[in-house]
Copies of this chain bind each other. A is one copy, B any other.
Amino acid sequence: MDSSSDAASRFYAVIPAGGIGSRLWPLSRASAPKFLHDLTGNGQTLLQDTWDRLLPISQGRTMVVTGDVHAGAVSEQLPNLDFNDVVLEPSPRDSTAAIALAAAILAKRQPDVIIGSFAADHVILEEDKFRSAVAEAVEIAASGKIVTIGIRPTEPSVAFGYIKRGKQIGDSKAFDVAKFVEKPRLPKAKKYFESGEYLWNAGMFIAPAELLLQILAKTEPALERGVRQIAEAWDTDQRAEVMKQVWPTLNKIAIDYSVAEPAAAKGLVAVVPGEFEWHDVGDFAAIAELQSEGRKNHLAVLGSARVLSDSSSGILVSETGRLVALIGLENVIVVDTPDALLVTSKEHAQKVKSLVDVLRQSGHSELL
């Protein structure tokens, strides 16, 4: 067995399936978050797409971390997911707790495991290129690195954090990570975009589980001890009991702050540039964009709507099966669900989040 196939055989995928996707309200709800929806119109949810995309390299070795209210939906959508590979969070405690617990459970089972964490709600086209990048990242990770896959920017977006790359690593496609930077304002985003030295941070992390936990032990020792403690009990009859006691005590912190940035500062992080098409589909304008495939004046339709459109463009999402008639509207967004209707335009797509905040503050929690 050469070292390449050795590293690949140590790979285990982790899918943190959390986050509601407030900008996609009223489609996305606490009870039916973004990853449980088909936002590409291919007949599968984003979670199923994520599972399938990883399958050729994971061979089904995949752990899903999600909210306990989604247990039913997740097991229904992923029939091949092993019961012992589902981590149900009694409450959301941010990405470090989710990913580190998965790392600790998997490291307990297989100390040299290399985990790869991928969001459940992104859209990736050109999946072969994606898997090549992951395979490359796994090789680099095996040499003792935290590896991220950075997306080659296609525009100076202010919606994503950026990764500044450093030196190329040997003759690989990977680079050292000079630093991670937060979502910039437009002038900086333009500078990053034009420099060619920055990649989008898509939140993909590939690392030996033990390395990730060792870094965490330095930055968040209580959190590291907590996930180790749960992991010890995981494959025993103490799982529920220990989870119940320890999980609520875990510090809420994004993995970018607890692991990625501190590790980058120590020169422990590498980045593999992703050459595949990647979409965050964070709001309805992004979905419309994705669906239009560059066609001007296209009306994208997701769901069961019967549509009668007279010179309208934008996106219609329907969960009701009602007839929807649109006349003379450009870049419109119509989201038709049984108990709530959203009508706006692409230029205001980001404002949906504020509207959800208003709903929350005004006590309409049944609609969230």
Residue of B nearest to A332 (CB): B343
Interface assignment of A328: CB less than 8 Å from any CB of chain B: yes
Residue of B nearest to A367 (CB): B323
> Could you tell me the distance between the alpha carbons of A345 and B351 in the complex, rounded to whole angstroms?
21
Chain A residues within 8 Å of chain B by Cβ, number: 32
Q: Tell whether, in the assembled complex, residue A342 and residue B325 are in contact, meaning their CB atoms are under 8 Å apart.
A: yes
Q: Pick from B332, B334, B341, B355: contact of A322, CB below 8 A.
A: B341
- Give the copy number: 2
Interface assignment of A76: CB less than 8 Å from any CB of chain B: no
Residue of B nearest to A347 (CB): B328
Q: Tell whether, in the assembled complex, residue B347 and residue A323 are in contact, meaning their CB atoms are under 8 Å apart.
A: no
> Could you tell me the distance between the alpha carbons of A325 and B23 in the complex, rounded to whole angstroms?
13
> Could you tell me the distance between the alpha carbons of A324 and B310 in the complex, rounded to whole angstroms?
22
Given contacts A308-B358, A355-B310, A358-B308, contact A341 B323 (CB under 8 A): yes
Interface assignment of A78: CB less than 8 Å from any CB of chain B: no
Interface assignment of A1: CB less than 8 Å from any CB of chain B: no
A350-366 contacts to B, CB under 8 A, are 351-352, 354-355, 358-359, 364
Q: Cβ of A351: which chain B residues have Cβ within 8 Å of it?
A: 310, 327-328
Residue of B nearest to A339 (CB): B322
Given contacts A308-B358, A358-B308, contact A341 B344 (CB under 8 A): no
Among A325, A347, A348, A351, chain B packs the most CB atoms within 10 A around the CB of: A325
Q: Tell whether, in the assembled complex, residue A325 and residue B355 are in contact, meaning their CB atoms are under 8 Å apart.
A: yes
Interface assignment of A33: CB less than 8 Å from any CB of chain B: no
Q: Tell whether, in the assembled complex, residue B310 and residue A354 are in contact, meaning their CB atoms are under 8 Å apart.
A: yes
Mask, A315-343, CB within 8 Å of B = 1, is 00000001111111100101010111111
Q: Cβ of A338: which chain B residues have Cβ within 8 Å of it?
A: 322
Interface assignment of A26: CB less than 8 Å from any CB of chain B: yes
> Could you list 28 examples of A-B contacts with CB < 8 Å?
A26-B323, A26-B325, A308-B355, A308-B358, A310-B348, A310-B355, A322-B339, A323-B339, A323-B340, A323-B341, A324-B340, A324-B342, A325-B340, A325-B342, A327-B342, A327-B343, A327-B344, A327-B348, A327-B351, A327-B352, A328-B344, A328-B345, A329-B345, A332-B343, A334-B341, A336-B341, A341-B341, A343-B343
Please list the 5 inter-chain residue pairs (A to B) with the smallest Cβ-Cβ separation, ordered nearest first: A327-B344, A328-B348, A323-B340, A327-B348, A325-B342
